[in-house]
């Protein structure tokens, strides 16, 4: 019986660990016509946030920021997850490297 209780406790602990990212800790971004939506994002300072980037274009994109050191290819019609932060308060740029002029936007950290 003690093994069952121990196993159940471990299962509960694992379930709480998998939900470590609350809804507020996830930023959903869409890339369409080589532009991010929403245009501009705000996250809390000192906290790690998961960006879910969905590419609705027919060509691949590359999510990139030189400011907060992130880089990940997003295949056409697919989504990727990128962990961002924790960052200090400020404004950071990010873009699609393949279409930088069209896609530049910003991340505000407060």
CATH no., domain 21-109: 2.60.40.420
Distance CA 95, CA 36 (A): 8
Contacts of residue 23, Cβ cutoff 8 Å, sequence gap at least 6: none
Residue 64 has pLDDT above 80, yes or no: yes
Distance CA 89, CA 66 (A): 16
DSSP class of residue 25?
Answer: G
Q: Whats the size of the chain, residue-wise? A: 110
Can you give the pLDDT at residue 15? 45
Predicted TM-score (pTM) of this structure: 0.78
Per-residue pLDDT band for 17 (boundaries 50, 70, 90) equals very low
Tens-digit pLDDT profile for residues 37-58: 999 999 999 999 999 999 999 9
Give me the percent of the chain exceeding a pLDDT of 70. Answer: 78
Average pLDDT, integer, range 81-108: 97
When comparing pLDDT for 103 and 3, which is higher? Answer: 103
């Amino acid at each position: 019986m003690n093994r069952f209780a121990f196993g159940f406790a471990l299962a509960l602990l694992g379930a709480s660990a998998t939900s470590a990212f609350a809804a507020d800790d996830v930023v959903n971004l869409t890339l369409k016509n080589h532009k991010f939506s929403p245009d501009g994002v705000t996250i809390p300072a000192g906290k790690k946030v998961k960006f879910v980037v969905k590419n609705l274009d027919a060509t691949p994109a590359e999510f990139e920021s030189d400011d907060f050191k992130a880089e990940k290819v997003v295949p056409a019609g697919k989504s990727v997850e990128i962990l961002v932060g924790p960052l200090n308060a400020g404004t950071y740029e990010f873009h699609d490297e393949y279409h930088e002029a069209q896609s530049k936007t910003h991340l505000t950290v407060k």
